[in-house]
Structure formats: C-alpha cells, structure tokens
Amino acid sequence: MKKLLFIYNPHAGKGKIKNSLSDIIEIFVKAGYEVTIYATQKRDDAKNIARERHQDFDLVVCSGGDGTLNEVTSGLMVSPHAPMIGYLPAGTTNDFASSMGIPKNMVKAAEAVVNGSPFAYDIGSLNDRYFTYVAGFGVFTNVSYETPQTTKNLLGRTAYILEGIKSLPSVTSYHVTVSFDDQVIEDDFIYGMVTNANSVGGFKGITGKDVGLDDGKFEVTLIKNPKNIVELQHIVNALLARDLSDKFIYSFHASNLDISCEEEISWTIDGEYGGTYTKMHLQNHQRALSYITTNTVEQHEIEQKESTNLLEEKIEESKAEGNS
C-alpha cells in the first residue's frame, strides 16, 4: 500500500479543515493510501516533520496557508529524493494555489491530489531561506506577518489592505544596489519583490508578463521612491493597471541576483517574516520540487498567455480613459 503523510495547520483559515477532515482522509484512503496525519502545534512543525519523515512516504500532502506550504517546501528542499507534494489551500490569500490552478475548495483539492499530475516547479532561495513563490521588502511586506491571525480570519484580504493603508504614513526607502546578468541597478526603492507566481497578495497579474513557473527565472519588480504624494498616486495607479513599464518601476526576469544595502532590510518570505539582511543573494532552483496539480505545463502556458493578453487590453483601456 502506498503511504501518504498529511500535515495540516488546524488554525489556518478559521480552522475550516475541521469540517472537511473526514472527507479528505476518505478520499486519500479510497485512492489506495495508508495515511499518517500530523496536526502542527507551533512554528516550524511542518518543516521539521517533512524533513525528518518524508523518506518513509510516497506522497506528502499539506494543508494550511502559504506559510505552512513554505515550511513543507523548506523541509523537503534538503532532500535529494523528495517525494511529490500535494497542497490543500486553507489560508487567507493562497497565492500559490491561484498560480497552480489548485481548487480553493479543500475536498476538491484533495481529489485533485489523487487524480492530478506532478508539475516540476521552481523554488527560490534568499540566502539560506527557501521560498515557494515570493520574497519581498519594503512597504506593505510586513503586513502579512504583523496582521493578527484573528483579523485575517475575520476580514480576509480586506485585513491586508487595511493594515497596508496604516503603514503608508511611515514609508521607508532603501538605497539599494541590484546586480543581475552583468547589469547593475542603483536607486532608492520603497518596495521590491522577487516572485515565481501569477498572484501575490491575492492580486493576479501584478508580477508581470510571461510568467513561467518552471522556466528557471524570477519575475523581479522594484518600485522607486516617490518624491511627493502625486508621484505616489501615479505609482498606485500603475500597479492597479498592472503597468510594470511605468517610469517608477523596474521590472525584469533573472535566474539569480544580488542585492546590497548599507542599512538592514527586513524581508517577508511567502507571507511570513524572512529575516533582516544587508547583503542578499537570491537563487532560482529550477524544477526543484514537484507539486500535484490538475493543470499540465501546456495548460499553464496557455492560461498565462490568455492572462497576459487580457492585462494588455486593460492597460490600453486605462491609458485611453486617461487621455480622454
């Protein structure tokens, strides 16, 4: 009999897994798996159990928010023979699930695990920390890990927006040097993100065009420091229109990059606190782990092209309205 390790966060998403746990386990058992269940009790539980026990299982499935997924990913990245990973999203935003086409309904996601196909996905690292889909610094990036879980559960994405607005009066800029592909950028930035996703913070299309989840490249976005409220509003409008060609925004693809700053910068990794550094090396580990999804690589490419075309149409419409 095949063996499945199921790790879940009982507190994620208002603890909604409790209402579906029996149905989920039944789906796994009917698919021929002997299931071992572990409910996390504290931070790093998921990482530790995945690292220490994965060799005994054919499949590791986790349920929780993006932080829980990050822990399981980090635990398995140390193994040269990691098993496939299934994910049942139960958090507030679930950006990874959005990018991978994983159902938000937990029972349907469990069915996708036993009926889907593996997708070899790029994993990122920031110095000695792994991330599944995003590492970022600057304005708003502290919102995910400073917003109380009770507030997240109560208000969902609205909680992030409200906390983000609170942080606007205290916007800090960083004088940063970024090196990649024999290029160097030096400027003052209020925000930066290095991603491998189509959705960040619940907002699709904000990571740019031609996003490949298995192409060995990050999507990098850096936002320059506005000099006044008018320039800040200009930046906000550009982001709402998903126009990353704006003069205040650097947007490019890179397999690895080095970032340095004289003062320490705090990072968020997959929605959790990711450490404080003055020197940062970010590396793309191409197709490092395989996650089960109902989508094939070809479907991902088709969906990305359709999303890109739609975004371009919206940007052109927004520009036309502005001119009129």
One-letter amino acid of 232: L
In this predicted structure, the answer to whether residue 27 has a pLDDT above a threshold of 50 is yes
Q: What is the pLDDT of residue 168?
A: 53
pLDDT in tens, 160-174: 444 554 555 557 889
Q: What is the pLDDT of residue 29?
A: 97
Q: Classify the C-alpha dihedral 13-16-20-21 as positive or negative.
A: positive
pLDDT in tens, 198-216: 867 655 655 666 788 999 9
Q: Of 26-40, 93-107, 108-122, 178-192, which range is least confident?
A: 93-107
Residues whose CB falls within 8 Å of the CB of residue 34, separated by 6 or more in sequence, listed in order: 1, 2, 3, 4
* Gap between the Cα atoms of 161 and 147, Å rounded: 10
Q: What is the pLDDT of residue 50?
A: 96
In this predicted structure, the answer to whether residue 3 has a pLDDT above a threshold of 80 is yes
Burial of 80 (0-12, 13-18, 19+ CB in 10 A): exposed
Residue 107's SS3 state is helix
pLDDT in tens, 252-281: 999 999 999 999 999 989 888 899 999 999
Which contacts qualify for 36-39: CB closer than 8 Å, 24 or more apart?
Answer: 36/3, 36/4, 36/5, 36/6, 37/6, 37/8, 38/5, 38/6, 38/7, 38/8, 39/8, 39/9, 39/10
Q: How confident is the model at residue 94 (pLDDT cuts 50, 70, 90)?
A: confident
- Tell me whether strands 183-195 and 199-200 are parallel, antiparallel or unpaired: unpaired
Mean pLDDT of all residues in 101-125? 94
Comparing 312 with 129, the larger pLDDT belongs to 129
Task: Tell me the β-bridge partners of 35.
Answer: 4
Mean pLDDT of all residues in 114-129? 95
* This prediction's pTM: 0.81
Instruction: State in Å, rounded, how far the first CA of the chain is from the last one.
Output: 66
Q: What is the pLDDT of residue 155?
A: 44
Give the residue from 59, 101, 97 showing the smallest Cα distance to 295: 101
Which residues have a catalytic role annotated? 272
pLDDT in tens, 36-84: 999 999 999 999 999 999 999 999 999 998 889 999 999 999 998 899 9
Q: What is the pLDDT of residue 18?
A: 86
Burial of 251 (0-12, 13-18, 19+ CB in 10 A): middle
Percent of the chain whose pLDDT exceeds 70: 75
Residues whose CB falls within 8 Å of the CB of residue 311, separated by 6 or more in sequence, listed in order: 205, 209, 242
In this predicted structure, the answer to whether residue 295 has a pLDDT above a threshold of 80 is no
Q: Are 167 and 143 in contact (CB under 8 A)?
A: yes
Print burial letters for 279-318: b (CB count within 10 Å at least 16), e (below 16): ebebbbbeebbbbbbbbeeeebbeebeebbeebeeebeeb
* Gap between the Cα atoms of 62 and 320, Å rounded: 45
Q: How confident is the model at residue 21 (pLDDT cuts 50, 70, 90)?
A: very high
Q: Of 107-116, 157-166, 174-183, which range is least confident?
A: 157-166
In this predicted structure, the answer to whether residue 145 has a pLDDT above a threshold of 60 is no
Assigned token pair, 25: 């386990």
* Gap between the Cα atoms of 88 and 90, Å rounded: 6
